[in-house]
Amino acid sequence: MKKVFVVLSIMILAISLFVSPIFAADNNSPELQNGVLLYTFKNNIFSYKFQVEYKDADGDLPRYMFAFINGSRREMIKVDITDNNSKDGIMYILILDEDELFKLAPKAKEWDIEYWFRTNDGKGPVITKMSKLFALDTESMGLSTSNSGGGGGEGNPSSGCGCGK
């Protein structure tokens, strides 16, 4: 009986060594891109939006998406709840008002906030580097980011400073 058990054990081990690589697909880790803290202000009141784009070459959706703000974890939501195409990217946001952010990061009044993003595609976690960068959310505020240094096209005398010509 012992011999039969040993033979069966060896057969199971051999099969698992040869068959498991066939069934194990290569996994590409997801990427978290363009992570940023955007801010807007209106009537001397600031609002904040943490934003990051999730991409996965395998098409895996994230199990979760978190923003960590001074070590405190907050769940993010999809900008477009119908967007499930992780191959071309899914945008996630977390919107906080001034009071909410100051509770998480008391030094936010001095623009001292540390944040990073974390996700998992079911095959392992991915974490961004810690950041302290802020950017004005010009789109939400209806501001233009185009160059206002002059108008016309090529050959137009008002097409900028003309430096180096």
CATH code, domain with 94:
2.60.40.10
Write out the two tokens for 102.
């100051």
Position 19 scores a pLDDT of 56
Q: Is residue 144 part of a domain?
A: no
Position 145 scores a pLDDT of 62
Q: Residue 10 phi/psi, 5° resolution?
A: -65, -40
Position 84 scores a pLDDT of 94
- In whole angstroms, give the CA distance from residue 67 to residue 73: 6
Q: Is residue 79 part of a domain?
A: yes
Structurally, the chain folds into a number of domains equal to 1
Instruction: For residue 42, list its beta bridge partners.
Output: 45
The 10 Å Cβ neighbour count of residue 27 is 14
Position 54 scores a pLDDT of 97
Residues 112, 72, 126, CA angle at the centre, nearest 5°? 100
DSSP at 130:
P
Q: Alpha-carbon Rg of the chain, whole angstroms?
A: 25
Tens of pLDDT along the chain (165 residues)? Answer: 677 666 666 767 666 656 554 445 688 899 999 999 999 988 888 889 999 999 999 999 999 999 999 889 999 999 999 999 999 999 999 999 988 988 888 777 677 789 999 999 988 899 999 999 888 888 877 776 654 444 444 444 433 333 333
Range of the domain at 45: 31-138
Q: Residue 122 phi/psi, 5° resolution?
A: 95, -5
Position 50 scores a pLDDT of 95
Three-state secondary-structure class, residue 22: helix
Position 77 scores a pLDDT of 97
Hey, which bits of the chain come out as E strands? 31-42, 45-55, 64-69, 72-75, 77-78, 90-97, 115-120, 125-127, 134-136
Q: Is residue 165 part of a domain?
A: no
Q: Is residue 22 part of a domain?
A: no
Position 31 scores a pLDDT of 94
Position 127 scores a pLDDT of 94
Say which amino acid occupies 36.
V
Q: Is residue 69 part of a domain?
A: yes
Q: Is residue 25 part of a domain?
A: no
Write out the two tokens for 93.
């946001």
Q: Is residue 148 part of a domain?
A: no
Position 161 scores a pLDDT of 38
Q: pTM for the full model?
A: 0.70
Q: Is residue 16 part of a domain?
A: no
